[in-house]
Amino acid sequence: MSALASLEQALKEAREGSELIESLTFDRIVAEGLDFSELSCKQLSFHACRFTGCDFSGAAFYDCGFTGCQFTGCRFPVSYWKSCRLTICKGDGGDFRRGRFKDCTLRECMLRYANFIGSVWERCALSECSFTESALAECKISKTTFQTVDFTGAELFRTPMKGTDLSSCTLDRISLSETCAELKGAKIHTSQAALVARILGIEIVF
């Protein structure tokens, strides 16, 4: 049985039984239109897999790993992620609205033009990721670290960053409220101060 057929069989059995897929590894599968919605995935590993037009709405992931995976036209609204690891993954344009991420690690992931409105991030670690032009409005972020993360053109409206270190991140053209209240209590680098001043309409003379 091929790896894709094994995954399709696991999905079928989960639908017919406990709605749980557990302790499986998948390598280099190319999947299109699969339905993971509302299923629980525990200790799954995906390596160099490609997903196109798959539905992960309301799915829950526990202790899962994704390495070198691509997600094209996939939907993840109201998904739940606990102790998951995403490394060198690409999910440009993905729908992650109201997703919840707890104790997760994201490294070198491309999440440009994605929709994360209303998402929750708790005790996560993100490094060398790109959220260029992504919607991150009305998110809740706590005890989460961002290292060299690119937020160029991202919408951060009503997403408080208090207590968050953004000093190594790219904040060019981010969208904030008129008062920049989202950055109150956040840590930024001196080189980023002029950018914030421009958002506030303050002219700095050197």
pLDDT at position 197 is 64
The band of 206, judged by pLDDT with boundaries at 50, 70 and 90, is low
Instruction: Give which of 15, 62, 17 is closest to 42, Cα–Cα.
Output: 62
Q: Which helix (H) or strand (E) holds 5?
A: helix 3-16
Distances (CA, A) of 135 to 103, 152, 172, 205: 21, 11, 14, 32
- Residue 196: pLDDT above 80? no
Residue 76, Cβ neighbours under 10 Å: how many? Answer: 28
Inter-residue contact 63 to 41 (CB < 8 Å): no
Instruction: Give which of 151, 159, 162 is closest to 114, Cα–Cα.
Output: 151
Burial class (CB in 10 A: 0-12, 13-18, 19+), 45: middle
Q: What is the per-residue pLDDT across 49-77, written as a single tens digit (0 to 9) for each?
A: 999 999 999 999 999 999 999 999 999 99
Q: Which of 1-15, 50-64, 146-160, 177-191 is least confident?
A: 177-191
What integer best gives the mean pLDDT of the chain?
93
> Average pLDDT, stretch 81-107?
98
pLDDT at position 107 is 98
Residue 199, Cβ neighbours under 10 Å: how many? Answer: 17
Cα 172 from Cα 22, distance rounded (Å): 41
Q: What is the per-residue pLDDT across 113-124, written as a single tens digit (0 to 9) for each?
A: 999 999 999 999
Top-confidence residue, 200 or 4 = 4
The band of 3, judged by pLDDT with boundaries at 50, 70 and 90, is confident
Q: What is the per-residue pLDDT across 4-59, written as a single tens digit (0 to 9) for each?
A: 999 999 999 999 998 999 999 999 999 999 999 999 999 999 999 999 999 999 99
Residue type (1 letter), 146: F
Q: What is the DSSP letter of 203?
A: P
| Percent of the chain at pLDDT exceeding 70 | 93
Report helix, strand and coil shares of the chain as percent, to nearest 5: 15, 30, 55
Q: Whole-prediction pTM value?
A: 0.92
